[in-house]
Amino acid sequence: MQTVLVTGGAGFIGANFILLARQNNWFNIINVDKLTYASNLENLAELQNDTNYHFVQGDIDNVELVSYLLDKYQPNAIINFAAETHVDRSIFSPQTFIQTNVVGTFNLLEATRFYWQKLSLQNQQQFRFLHVSTDEVYGSLSTQEPAFREDTPYAPNSPYAASKAAADHFVRAYYHTYKLPTLTTNCSNNYGMRQFPEKLIPLTILNALDGKSLPIYGDGQNIRDWLYVIDHCEAIYLVIQQGKIGETYNIGGLNEQTNLTVVKKICAILDELIPKPNFSYSSLINFVPDRPGHDRRYAIDCSKIRRDLGWQPKENFDSGLRKTVQWYLDNSAWVNQVSSGAYQNWLKQNYENRK
């Protein structure tokens, strides 16, 4: 079985990927994660006795550490999930986004290049570096424009998107300059279990359960293309197995929804699962001042990955959202753990001036 070094595997998508990979015996996994506020090792607690899974606390920015781990574990592939990921935080403090997403990815590429150049020719040919990126690098669409394709020009609008775009360019450059066998995936908004509750869907679920207001930026008509996290993880597996090196693959949910619709759907599910007399959770909806530079619409054209690799999203949004709400209801210990003082400070910083 192949060994894969996963970065950022204690976060939302990385943890779901590792759990799926180990359940299906896809790979041995080495997980390198800095353990920022967005991570949670509880996500991976069920792997504590799995001898084919190893966790190392570390920073992708640290070339010495990454080089040591590559030499020690000799992975056949690297999947780079590690990043600072929240757009609102990138507006308050962009510095860490540049450090991890740009400099960190660059240093990870450097350590990978040194390791890869020492491999045998056969191992060099089989090696893959898969960089997980976002649709936000393509900018914002109007309602009439066609969905983002792999050849849509980059036009990032937030510090987060700009940092991911810069990282994508370095990955591309390492393929063209050094022939490092890279792959890049650009996916739309993920949702599902284990997402840190700074993002729209888990924030709405937890605020509603606490009887707190449900903040909607601007007019609530911004559109996102929601992708169930397990569908995303399966796409990544296919790309690493069958993707053509040097190429990028767009991954989307074929599921465009306005933010207001998403929040209303969550409220309707909660009205059904935890009804309260003479009360609908939708009465908590609160329109608040907009996010600066807020992209109006994202939509992914995923015809390339469907045509070339046979992937398409399986989950339907209504059932995926219901499963997600149910997961947060069933995992109150996880929720309590992440709703710490630091999280409360973030809520204060982001929402206090929006009242």
Would you count residue 38 as binding ligand NAD (CB under 6 A)?
A: yes
Would you count residue 217 as binding ligand DAU (CB under 6 A)?
A: yes
- Helices in 179-312 by DSSP H: which ranges? 200-209, 229-242, 259-273, 303-309
The Cα 83–Cα 124 span in angstroms is 26
The Cα 3–Cα 292 span in angstroms is 42
Of 35 and 347, CB closest to ligand NAD: 35
Would you count residue 196 as binding ligand NAD (CB under 6 A)?
A: yes
Of 224 and 265, CB closest to ligand DAU: 224
Residue 116, amino acid = W
Among 8, 75, 192, 253, binds ligand NAD (CB under 6 A): 8
C-alpha distance from residue 141 to each of 61, 75, 120 (Å):
33, 39, 45
Catalytic: which of 33, 59, 61, 135? 135
Of 215 and 320, CB closest to ligand DAU: 215
Q: Kindly report the CA angle at 133 between 132 and 134, in degrees rounded to 5?
A: 140
Among 33, 59, 61, 135, binds ligand DAU (CB under 6 A): 135
Catalytic: which of 53, 138, 160, 237? 160
185 three-class SS = strand
Among 33, 136, 168, 234, binds ligand DAU (CB under 6 A): 136
Catalytic: which of 59, 84, 136, 256? 136
The Cα 11–Cα 40 span in angstroms is 6
DSSP E strands, 39-105: 53-57, 77-80
The reply to whether 135 belongs to the active site is yes
- Of 297-326, which residues contact ligand DAU (CB under 6 A)? 298
Any idea which residues carry the catalytic annotation? 135-136, 160
| Site residues for ligand DAU per CB under 6 A | 85-87, 134-136, 188-189, 199-200, 203, 215-217, 222, 224, 259, 291, 298
